[in-house]
Amino acid sequence: MRYISHEDFGRLLHDLERDYQVYVPCRKNIHRYYRPYAGLTDDVVIGEVRAFEPLKAFFFRARQKVAEGFSPDVVHGEDRPVCIVGAKACDLKAFAILDHVFRGHDYADPYYARAREANLIISADCTYAIDTCFCLALNVDPYPREAFDINLSPLDDGFLVETGSQKGTAIVAGRAALFADAGEQRTRDRNETRRHVIHAVQKNIEQNRIPHQDALEGAVARNYEAEIWADEAQTCVECGACNTICPTCHCFLLYDQKGKAHIERFRIWDACLLKDFARVAGGANPRPKLWMRLRNRFEKKFDFFPKVAGMYACTGCGRCISACPAKIDIRRILKRLVNHA
Ligand code: SF4
Ligand code: SF4
């Protein structure tokens, strides 16, 4: 295990800027957002909890030009790859779902695949939990175990450093002077922080009586015709925030618009809560009622995905709870699904 001081970590990021556009999480009021790195200023928070926006935004862009003038050639920009610092375990777990969708079949999405290959992830342990965190219920620990290049465990005087890929190992090996042996005490301190955060998430789960994912098997199918959906959808304003903020939601829409020289095709995020999501030419809609679309969201995450990919398409990040203006709480719905006979 290696250790890096705050000062040397700043040097590392400065060095990585030659090859990457570096993004760091910053605190603004009660939330954290990614912004381009401009030194380790006081608002940079590596540790704490997940950022407000999901990591998918760096890999599956909210709006991406995918074709020009009906040419089959893939349109790639000249941008340098991205280095994301401070990514959390719940977002890294979402890669399993996005990988299944975008590169798990005959055709790999060229934009997503390229970003996954070229981008660098320097993740970080959570150092506390907020009341919407329930990752452990979905078998996600509040510290990264996989899908990172380098992981940081924040300590008072720097970070404990683990590498998780050849790319990460090469970066650490190539800048050996910045790193030192972590020593036993720092590893004990890290383990103590991890225990503390696990305890906080467990407390959230117990207090809110959130079911563990093992209890969710078959719960959506059993409640397919239940009143739960119409009841929960009563306050929904159909904004789609729960979809766009979710690190695992991945549906998209293609549209064409006139560019300067050609017709251009764009891919944008779509949201299954929106009425037009499944509407087809001629106007027919398989899910005309809002409660059907709410049910579809849960069906996809907790019934379809376990069947086709062997995993739940939820990481317990709690973003949809914070984002929903109607206070529709995924934890309450999961509880109702499990408890309803
Ligand atoms: S459904 Fe909600 S809690 Fe689950 S991953 Fe998506 S935003 Fe996070
Ligand atoms: S965020 Fe809430 S109000 Fe908006 S579409 Fe989702 S469930 Fe409905």
Which of 181, 171, 183, 125 has its CA nearest to residue 12?
171
Q: Where are the beta strands (DSSP E) in 78-173?
A: 82-87, 120-124, 150-155, 158-163
Q: Is the CB of 272 under 6 A from ligand 2?
A: no
Q: Is the CB of 326 under 6 A from ligand 2?
A: yes
Distance CA 104, CA 305 (A): 13
What confidence score (pLDDT) does residue 72 get? 81
Ramachandran area for residue 243 (φ above 0: left; ψ -120 to 50: alpha; else beta)? alpha
The C-alpha angle with vertex 191 and arms to 207 and 15, in degrees rounded to 5, equals: 115
Looking at the CA of 134, which ligand is closest? Answer: 1
Cβ atoms 46, 85 nearer than 8 A: yes
Ligand 1 shell residues, CB under 6 Å: 245-248, 314-320, 330
Which of 11, 341, 308 has its CA nearest to residue 176?
11
- List, for residues 128-161, the tens digit of each pLDDT value: 999 999 999 999 999 999 999 999 999 999 999 9
Cβ atoms 87, 121 nearer than 8 A: yes
Which pair of tokens denotes residue 180?
A: 């030192």
Q: Is the CB of 274 under 6 A from ligand 2?
A: no
Cβ atoms 231, 332 nearer than 8 A: no
List, in order, residues 6 or more apart from 25 with CB less than 8 Å away: 32, 33, 34, 44, 45, 46, 48, 51, 85, 86
Looking at the CA of 300, which ligand is closest? Answer: 1
Provide the β-strand partners of residue 32. 27
Looking at the CA of 312, which ligand is closest? Answer: 1
Query: Which residues in the chain land under pLDDT 70?
Result: 341
Hey, is 86 helix, strand or coil? strand
Beta sheet of 63-68, edge-to-edge order: 63-68, 263-269, 252-258
Cβ atoms 150, 163 nearer than 8 A: yes
Q: Is the CB of 240 under 6 A from ligand 2?
A: yes
What confidence score (pLDDT) does residue 341 get? 61
Which ligand 2 atom sits nearest the alpha carbon of residue 241?
Answer: 1
Q: Is the CB of 329 under 6 A from ligand 2?
A: no
Which ligand 1 atom sits nearest the alpha carbon of residue 138?
Answer: 4
- List, for residues 96-111, the tens digit of each pLDDT value: 999 999 998 888 999 9
Can you give the pTM of this predicted structure?
Answer: 0.95
CA of 277 to the centre of ligand 2 (A): 14
Distance CA 96, CA 309 (A): 9
